[in-house]
Amino acid sequence: MAFRLCIFHRSSLSYEQLECQDAREKSIYRRIWAHLKAFKLKLNLFAGQLAKNDLSHFSRLNSIPSVNEEKLKNYEDGLKKLHFEFEHRFQDFSAIETELDIFTMPFNVNCEAMRSDLQLELIELQSNNHLKQSFLNMPKLEFNKSLSKVSFPNLISHAQKISAIFASSYIQGVQQRTPSF
């Protein structure tokens, strides 16, 4: 029980948490993707630490005077299974990680490593200080709507596709929380 409490306490991921993040973080897409990547890394960290009998991130488990090594091995195996399941369920996101990066941080991507239809538009975008400032100060959807359809047709199309992926997940979460009358 102490193990489960530690894991849930450390790694809870909820729509409320995503919505209540720092006000400067305006993009729900970036927050969701960041939480997904962080959760995956935490699972690896926790499994590795349990393999070494390191309970530094398991305060409740660490408070138990003597923890059975067999139970620690079971917890480690459980974390590995959870990591595998997480990887399996979110494999679509892993497959489009580069595509997500183009949407969430287009000023940081390596243009040469991107699809050829986006390379020149990304170079133009990254070279424009006004657009960089707008990107930092606007919600991502508004920023993409503000782009010139003549200069950035492929980036706009790309942003619309990524938005559609996340919009359905976000709407579903909001509907689950909204009481029906």
Share of the chain above pLDDT 90, in %: 33
Residues in the chain: 181
Rounded CA gap, 62 and 59, in Å? Answer: 5
Rounded average pLDDT over 18-47? 71
Position 137 pLDDT exceeds 50 = yes
Whole-number average pLDDT of the chain: 79
Q: 17: which residues sit within 8 A by CB, 6+ positions away?
A: 35
Each residue's pLDDT tens digit, 3-18: 554 555 555 544 445 4
Q: Examine the domain organization and report whether 71 and 129 are in the same domain.
A: no
Instruction: Report if residue 79 sits inside a domain.
Output: yes
**End-to-end CA, the chain:** 37
Each residue's pLDDT tens digit, 79-98: 999 988 888 887 777 778 88
Q: 109: which residues sit within 8 A by CB, 6+ positions away?
A: 98, 101, 102, 122
Residue with tokens 């926790």: 46
Confidence band of 180 (pLDDT split at 50, 70, 90): very low
Residue with tokens 């962080």: 38
DSSP 24: T
**Weakest-pLDDT range from 42-51, 84-93, 168-177:** 168-177
Q: Examine the domain organization and report whether 68 and 115 are in the same domain.
A: no
Side-chain-side CA neighbours of 144 within 13 Å: the count stands at: 20
Instruction: Report if residue 66 sits inside a domain.
Output: yes
Q: Examine the domain organization and report whether 124 and 170 are in the same domain.
A: yes
Which tokens go with 170?
A: 């976000």
Q: Do 33 and 100 form a contact (C-beta atoms < 8 A)?
A: yes
Rounded CA gap, 109 and 54, in Å? Answer: 36
Number of domains in the chain: 2
Rounded average pLDDT over 105-130? 97
Rounded average pLDDT over 156-173? 73
Phi, psi for 168 (deg, rounded to 5): -65, -40
Domain that holds residue 71: 32-92
Instruction: Report if residue 160 sits inside a domain.
Output: yes
